[in-house]
Chains A and B, each alone.
Chain A
């Protein structure tokens, strides 16, 4: 870990980088979850649905709607947590079975639970990647790895079949279905999924770490991690999950995951960009805060050029000084990154403004219209020299038309 002054020194250099970057157009990246379109009513046909998300025609219609934002990079989601949404060999027969007698699937009383992406004859995920490429856009994978904000309903069959790899709290409580990467078998399983995703020739792999629940040192009191602790610290009592020594140990495993994933990605020619999404940034870049919450040492990932893009999915801005404090935190992050990888900041849509980084949240505090807030946010992103914007998440009408128009013209010259 570099001391702070080293970051600052690099940061001063970065100001030059930022000035150069200022002249580059911002890359607009849309995160797309086609599942979210399944329940959109068709205004022309009451009682019917606007998108048949299990068909190629439905997916093409979704892409048309996504492109209203002006995004040129489209990251399609292949799964919810560990529930893969294409005919996967890795998940085995239970993914086709589609039932688990301990639970029901998410949103069962709505259409959502009755879509069967894993059973479609056409691999829709592969189809969508091809469609995006066909339209001259950059295609990629939005991989909300082991995402579990809807857990346990998004944990897939492989996870459910392997309780021996489940995460545990320090007190020994089981989180049913959530597996730990510290088990070599889990890492190998995830890499086999990565192979399935890479077979679709994506240009970007973007992985989530920020969603609630996953990637937490709180859940890593499993045998391999305890063995690591013993090896490093002997008989010292297992620390609490906030202890930085423990968090760093967990981060080593996660770091290893990215290293191995990157190695896998490098087999493609050209290799896709690896982007990682992190939230909970406060002033100063909050390395330790993110380490504690997610077990991810992001400055180290930047330093080792492990990632091509850092996606900032949420910052703890000050409601008294919304835009000023946002810019300060963004600048802190840019200073630490210092041009060593691309940096993207998120603009979140209406329905998924979890981290209050959407125009709506700024509009509430400032009283400005959403599109004005969006313009101000985009200006800040340009001013700090970031590479672009990530739209979380482009569902049906999740960005109001005024904001979509603003986004479309983000790279136009303005007086």
Chain B
């Protein structure tokens, strides 16, 4: 990763710290001005959103709870558009192009034991327009982090309305639809506790940007994918950083976000040049700086900073010099070399056979789970590796669990180094692997599988960080994640279950092969460059 900024100015005061035209360290393309404080006094003012006319909506706890305010920077006047009791939580404002504000609202009045059975304790979306508040969604769940599409027709948001676990997914509704039907994106962050939040559409509406927390022991990363289909999604930031609250620049060339990299003194404002994938941290002085939003002219960012003891809003001018896009990579498709196969011997029993003909007999447990200790043929350190499997599903896994077709374990990870499994949440097929830092990575089929059918899958993880999947009946999929982690000295290969023989797969593995390189018939999905090109040329 390039242009990671290091902390410079720990104790230097805000006013003395920067002069106009200063550049962020290691990111000379990113110039900034002095931060200017916009709100003052007690209370925490956060989650700024900026209208086309420059007015800033934000939430504040100055009177208890969270209430919505609008600041007119030109006059300096502030208007409270939603106030109430201290337990009113009006949060995450987002402007519509015609001057409305979409926000999330929760207003519990009594204890949960009293309110919950009545069904009106949820945190749902509302629209404020011309002084009138209209409800957009209703239910015992949370709809948060809304954004409005550039054409003003759709509201994108995160919701757990159809999640049974602790996860949250992306969805949209049409403001033109009087029913405000919620359309969910089926294949983003669908694991039990995965969270996909803060969705926003690109300028032309082709690309969706969001933040995602992949697993409980993970960190937030930024993602980009085609809007509404959400296949071929691409991870933009590494697991060695924590990044969330992304915001498109008006010209669609940059993304501002809240970020942290070990060594930083706290949360900061980062800017990414999307075509070159370079990013740098702005200098925002003491305290945490979070939730950046671009002004309509794309020349400034408004964000919150708590250097004064309260979070207050600030504006900083930003100038991003043009950068050379990354050269579009030519695919180097190393030919496949099989390294291991699950086959049946003359007695009809399964054996694990490596490319040099060695055979290992699996231990069979719990009526058909196969365990091969110290397996050979699955050490893929630093190489492109593939899995090729044919299988039949007899029964799909229940919600919140999974059916693991094959899993491999190495000494470097808590759980599987890689695995192929069917998610119990959405019945998609997942191929998971590990980053160099041990983070969980995966690619999903996107579409659910069905019981009683045979499937053939080809899955690939490249050391350059791309994962691919070809599955019967579906278009090829690719995702940009991270460089694969250490996959050597394998300790266990398990078929039809995961760690400790849990999460059994109910079905039949008809064939399995793995190896290095790309199988000949492999078809690649879209890359990030492809997606950006489509947006550009639309």
Q: A residues within 8 Å of B by Cβ?
A: 38, 47-49, 51-55, 58, 93, 96-99, 101-109, 111, 114-116, 119, 148, 150-153, 161-164, 166, 168-169, 171-176, 213, 222-223
Contacts and interface: CB of A to CB of B under 8 A. Distances in A.
A169 B437 contact: yes
Given A48-B117, A102-B244, A109 B160 contact: yes
B437 A116 contact: no
A99 B61 CA distance: 13
A103 B121 CA distance: 18
A319 to B, nearest CB: 14
Nearest to A103: B195
A48 B116 CA distance: 9
Interface of B: 44, 61, 66, 87, 89, 91-92, 108, 111-117, 121, 123, 140-142, 144-145, 160, 163-168, 193, 195, 197-198, 211, 213, 216-220, 239-242, 244-245, 260, 262-267, 288, 435-439, 485
Contacts of A48: 113, 117
Contacts of B245: 101
B326 to A, nearest CB: 23
Nearest to B198: A101
Contact of A103 (B92, B111, B213, B485): B213
Nearest to B164: A109
A114 B121 contact: yes
B437 A164 contact: no
8 contacts: A101-B144, A101-B198, A101-B244, A152-B216, A162-B266, A174-B242, A213-B217, A223-B263
A204 to B, nearest CB: 29
B265 A164 contact: yes
Given A119-B87, A151-B217, A169-B437, A111 B262 contact: no
Contact of B116 (A114, A148, A151, A175): A114
B113 A104 contact: no
A164 B363 CA distance: 46
B145 A98 contact: no
Contacts, number: 147
B194 to A, nearest CB: 10
Contacts of A161: 266-267, 288
Contact of B117 (A47, A106, A116): A47
B219 A116 contact: no
A152 B266 CA distance: 18
A49 B262 contact: no
B241 A174 contact: yes
B145 A152 contact: no
Given A108-B166, A150-B216, A176-B213, 6 more contacts: A58-B113, A97-B89, A101-B244, A163-B260, A164-B266, A171-B485
B108 A116 contact: yes
A48 B216 CA distance: 31
Contacts of B242: 163, 166, 174, 176
Contacts of B193: 153
A144 to B, nearest CB: 16
A252 to B, nearest CB: 22
A106 B437 contact: no
A96 to B, nearest CB: 8
A101 B168 CA distance: 10
A103 to B, nearest CB: 5
A38 B112 contact: yes
Contacts of B198: 101
A406 B130 CA distance: 67
B230 to A, nearest CB: 19
Contacts of B44: 93
A39 B251 CA distance: 49
A32 B173 CA distance: 43
Given A114-B115, A116-B112, A174-B219, A104 B239 contact: no
B163 A111 contact: no
Given A52-B114, A173-B435, A168 B262 contact: yes
B5 to A, nearest CB: 14
Contacts of B163: 108-109
B388 to A, nearest CB: 29
A93 B64 CA distance: 9
B101 to A, nearest CB: 17
A264 B415 CA distance: 39
B262 to A, nearest CB: 6
A101 B241 CA distance: 17
Nearest to B162: A109
A166 B242 CA distance: 11
A54 B164 contact: no
A34 B455 CA distance: 47
Nearest to A49: B113
B35 to A, nearest CB: 19
B195 to A, nearest CB: 5
Nearest to B116: A111
Contact of B113 (A51, A148, A223): A51
Contact of B92 (A93, A101, A174): A101
A168 B218 CA distance: 10
A106 B439 CA distance: 22
B140 A109 contact: yes
B312 to A, nearest CB: 13
A169 B434 CA distance: 14
Contact of B166 (A49, A58, A107, A223): A107
Contacts of A47: 117
A103 B197 contact: yes
Contacts of A101: 92, 144-145, 197-198, 244-245
Contact of A104 (B87, B166, B218): B166
A153 B266 contact: no
A99 B213 contact: no
B216 A108 contact: no
Nearest to B440: A173
Q: List 7 A-B pairs, minimum CB-CB distance, nearest first.
A: A173-B437, A52-B113, A114-B112, A163-B260, A171-B437, A174-B219, A54-B111
Nearest to A178: B217
A219 B45 CA distance: 34
Contacts of B213: 102-103, 152, 176
A357 B165 CA distance: 27
A108 B139 CA distance: 12
A282 B193 CA distance: 33
A108 B160 contact: yes
